């Protein structure tokens, strides 16, 4: 099992322990990819962000992990007491500064949950989805990246 998978699994296990103790926390997963020559600079930036995030009110956990085989790929995993705590974090000067340093305001993540692969495939061909992707394409800084995951039962 890769280091990223182990760290992600440990993070999620700890997050579920928190969930069992009170109101539903908010989990945020952020993917960061940098050019290989910038990996050390990115790691330093992400460590500083992680450490600052850990000191914020309402932060339950904050981890930065690096892909074992692709050192330019990182994941930030954070858990927040609630939506209000996350919103305070997002509005904080340190968060805005970090996001400005990354210089990639054109990246975002859409998370969807589907009852079946068939429902997912039908959705992908729906006119409103095709229109969304067509309108998004000229604004994108990267190709549309769609990753499918299945629940671990």
The pLDDT tens digits of the residues spanning 8-60 come to 444 444 444 444 455 678 888 888 888 888 888 888 988 988 999 999 999 99
Does pLDDT of 138 surpass 80?
no
CB 139, CB 106: distance < 8 Å: yes
pTM: 0.56
Q: What is the pLDDT of residues 45-98, one digit of tens each?
A: 889 889 999 999 999 999 998 888 887 888 888 999 988 888 888 888 878 777
End residue of a domain, out of 62, 83, 102 = 102
Buried b (16+ CB within 10 A) or exposed e, 118-152: eeeeeeeeeeeeeeeeeeeeeeeeeeeeeeeeeee
Same domain, 112 and 95: no
Same domain, 130 and 66: no
Same domain, 11 and 61: yes
Same domain, 90 and 139: no
3-state class (DSSP) for residue 70: coil
Domains identified in the chain, total number: 2
Could you tell me the residue range of the domain that residue 126 belongs to?
107-153
Same domain, 50 and 119: no
Same domain, 62 and 36: yes
């Amino acid at each position: 099992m890769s280091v990223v998978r182990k760290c992600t699994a440990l993070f999620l296990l700890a997050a579920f322990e928190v969930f069992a103790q009170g109101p539903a926390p908010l989990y945020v997963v952020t993917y960061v990819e940098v050019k290989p020559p910038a990996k050390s600079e990115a790691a330093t930036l992400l460590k500083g962000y992680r450490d600052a995030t850990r000191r914020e009110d309402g932060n339950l956990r904050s981890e930065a992990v690096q892909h074992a085989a692709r050192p330019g790929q990182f994941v930030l995993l954070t858990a927040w007491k609630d939506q209000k705590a996350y919103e305070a974090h997002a509005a904080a000067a340190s968060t805005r500064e970090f996001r400005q340093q990354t210089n990639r305001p054109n990246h975002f993540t859409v998370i969807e949950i589907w009852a079946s692969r068939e429902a997912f495939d039908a959705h992908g061909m729906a006119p409103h989805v095709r229109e969304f992707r067509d309108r998004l394409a000229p604004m994108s800084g990267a190709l549309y990246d769609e990753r499918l995951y299945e629940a671990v039962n």
